[in-house]
Structure 1
Amino acid sequence: MHGLPGAQMVVTDLTEPDKRADALGKLGLCFGIGMVAGSTLGGTLSTRYGETFAACVAAGGSFISFLLVWTFIPKHTKIQAPQDNTDKKSNAKSVFDLGEITRLMKFPGVAKTFMVKIISGLPSGIFQVMFSVIAMNFFQLAPEQNGYLMAYFGIVSMVIQGGVIGRLTSKYSENSLLLLSIGMSSLVGLAQVFMANVFQFCFIVLPMMFSLSVFNVITDSMLTKTVPSSDTGTMLGLCASVQSLLRTIGPTIGGFLYHNYGVASFGFIQFVVNMVVFVFMLRNMVNSKDEHRE
């Protein structure tokens, strides 16, 4: 489960800040290829040779990954500064050190970006958690058809992360791209309100995956740039914890909304929440530009 955050930490340490968003996007492309290929291969092996054989192949693949990491990933990806015993003891922090989290939140811009990541990501996170229920009950998809739809998600995400995000980050600022992703997410929510079948949803997937991919990559990149290089791993760990938080509270909120208000409620909440965040961020950008001029 933590292979992706671990790889993000290594890539963050080994890339320059101005190229970080592009590198994180291409890393998402690599994991997307693995998800699509692994799902397809796993289904084929399970059907032809049984689940035990498929699990053994997966274990073998994990062992190969271990050897690749052992061989090619440097032992230290950060610049190592000499420390005495006192410093080492002071740096021995608990995994759930609230004081450490509070310290990171005090860096300029961290708390605001982190709150935007949680608030704006919550509606789409709820929809993703509930998608399997929506696919079966609302779209009436068979398991095989659902697999094809998930593969379509993966392919669209790979194209965006591998071929689009890098070009955008080279031309536009991260603040502008974050504002774009939030605004587009709001429009996606509005489209979901009027969505009636799976064919319409397939068209909505394109802007939806674009906004999600840009939003996740840009927020991760911005948060790692606002803290010292020694804290980038901790910050990426906190970013990963946001997804865990959404998966924890998402089923409860999503089940209540789906049972009482239907699928359209997910889109309506996403539209309202992201529109509020969009207006808030746009206002802050305008105010910061005015202050800079003065």
Structure 2
Amino acid sequence: MSRKGETTEETSRAPVASRANEAERMKTIYIVYLICALDITWMFLQFSITPYLAKKLGFDTLWFGYLQTMVGVVQLLGGPIFGRFGDLFGARAALSLACGANIVFFLLLAIADSPAMLFIHKLPTIFMHVLPASQMVVTDLTEPEKRAGALSKIGLCFGIGIIVGSTLGGQLSKNFGETFAAYFGVAGSTLSFLLVLKFIPKTTKDGASKSNTQGENEKKSVFNIGEIIRLMKFPRVMPTFFIKIVAGLPSGIFQVMFSIIALEFFKLEPEQNGYLMAYFGIISMIVQGGVIGRLTARYSENSLLLLSIGLSSLVGLAQAYMQNVFQFCLSVVPMVLSLSVFNVITDSILTKSVPSSDTGTMLGLCASVQSLIRTVGPTVGGFLYVKYGVSSIGLIQFFVNVAVFVYLLQRRLNKPDERKE
């Protein structure tokens, strides 16, 4: 009788424990969203400091381009290493490292008083990967079928960060100077660091993944190229990376060249450019917060990948023939939608294609794709803009994405039995 009573009691406790675990997971995810929004805020605050400080220190456009290229190269090298670090040592260690690097970054920016120091202050960007670290946590704590929707909410944080960071950075720099704004970034990054230590568990992997990772720690290292090569051999990984790089490069070129386009082609004043960035942020918040989740819940990832690439090709065509900022603003909505869907879906496909113990490394590699685009984008975009004008960038985006769209459509027609994952 007693044993039967104990069994009944244990059964009744099971749903309660399950609900408690689910509530704890959701709390962690919401804290990660907050940390991500704060990080984007500090990043855009920094964007309002560095160009003006560089000008004061005698940088011309060429040397400022070298500075930006250095960031792309450093983060390109750091992405896979950071991802492996997260898989081996856990989410809290990865986020702590990223937020700690932010603190050092802003401290060096605050004391930068020479061109050399301005270059040195960019070195911590090798570990400044709060966004991939946040994606690691969300990936670990969500079911595969809900992953794309959860990852899209990080884009909502991005929109909030754009608006708050751009506004805050401009006001602080204008009223108190660049040094004060940089120290404000130190304080903000410290707040993010403390949130990580307080609320993020040591590891967010499930039990099986955790035991596998701990058992192999002695055999694996952060600087293990063989592990990266191993991941590339999983089905769907190489084709998806190929699509992510080829289809993402043209739109990435436009993004890195946008500040020049806004200044020289649209003839925007700094205040007007700030309004345009706020418009970007609002559209991003609407798309990421209210649209992506509904799309991922209703349609398959393969269909959404086709949609994003087809839409991106039309955006490229529109940007090739735009003549003024109003026409560009009309293209922003489909542009943000296509970019958001493309990034969320490719990241989701790649993390599902590898074991859960390796999702951090995969997300680090995804971050390196963006760094690669930022590295080659200024050189390629500058050449195209000077030689052939803004229209050349849009036309290349159109033709490249049409080619990728046809490739994907042909591959899908050759696999008629594919179903929604």
Scaled by the length of structure 2, the TM-score of the pair is 0.66
| 1:132 pairs with 2:262 | no
* Residue 8 of structure 2: aligned partner: none
Shift of 1:46: 1.9
Structure 1 vs Structure 2 CA RMSD: 1.6
Shift of 1:53: 2.4
Structure possessing the higher relative contact order (Cα contacts under 8 Å, 6 or more residues apart): 1
State the 1:52 CA deviation: 2.5
Aligned 1:132-151 pairs, distance under 5 A: 132-151=259-278
- Determine if contact 1:4/1:31 at 8 Å carries over to the other structure: no
CA contact 1:36–1:151 (8 Å) conserved in 2: yes
SS in 2 for 1:92: coil
- Code of the aligned partner of 1:264: S
Decide which moves more: 65-74 or 97-106.
97-106
C-alpha change, 1:75 and 1:189, in structure 2 (3 Å) is same
Q: Which residue pairs with 1:188 in the alignment?
A: 315
Which of 22, 36, 42 aligns to 2:163? It is: 36
Q: Determine what percentage of the aligned residue pairs are the same residue.
A: 69
Matches of 2:134 and 2:373, distance apart in 1: 21
Q: In the alignment, does 2:386 pair up with 1:259?
A: yes
Does structure 1 conserve the Cα–Cα contact (< 8 Å) formed by 2:244 and 2:346? yes
Q: Contact (CA 8 Å) 1:12, 1:232: kept in 2 or not? A: yes
Q: What's the counterpart of residue 122 of structure 1?
A: 249
Q: Secondary structure at the match of 2:202?
A: coil
**1:101 is matched with which residue?**
228
Name the structure 1 match of 2:90: none
Residue of structure 2 equivalent to 1:92: 221
Unaligned runs of 5+ in 1: none
**What corresponds to 1:72 in structure 2?**
199
Instruction: Give the letter for the 1:142 counterpart.
Output: E
Say if 1:254 and 1:82 are closer, same or farther in 2 by CA, change over 3 A: closer
Moved over 6 A (4+): 82-85
1:191·1:267 contact (CA, 8 Å) conserved in 2? yes
Matching of residue 162 in structure 1 with residue 289 in structure 2: yes
Q: Distance in 2 between matches of 1:276 and 1:82?
A: 41
Residue in 2 that maps onto 1:218: 345
CA distance in 2, matches of 1:84, 1:164: 39
Kept after mapping to 2: 8 A contact 1:125/1:250:
yes
2:162/2:277 contact within 8 Å kept? no
Query: Greater CA radius of gyration, 1 or 2?
Result: 2
Q: CA deviation at 1:120?
A: 0.1
Post-superposition shift, 1:291?
8.4
User: Could you give the per-residue CA deviations for residues 62-91 of structure 1, whole angstroms, max 9, x where no partner exists?
Assistant: 111111111111101113216787x33311
Letter in 2 for 1:91: K
Q: Give the SS at the match of 2:172.
A: helix
Which sections of structure 2, spanning at least 5 residues, go unmatched? Answer: 1-127
Question: What is the 5 A alignment of 1:39-54?
Answer: 39-54=166-181
Paired amino acid for 1:89:
E
Opposite residue 63 of structure 1, the aligned amino acid is T
Deviation, 1:99, is 2.1
Pick from 245, 255, 274 the counterpart of residue 401 of structure 2.
Answer: 274
Taking the aligned partners of 1:167 and 1:291, their CA distance within structure 2 comes to 21
Q: Distance in 1 between matches of 2:243 and 2:352?
A: 16
Equivalent-residue separation in structure 2 for 1:9 and 1:72 (angstroms): 15
Which amino acid is the alignment partner of residue 156 of structure 1?
Answer: I
| C-alpha contact 2:306 2:409 (8 A) present in aligned 1 | yes
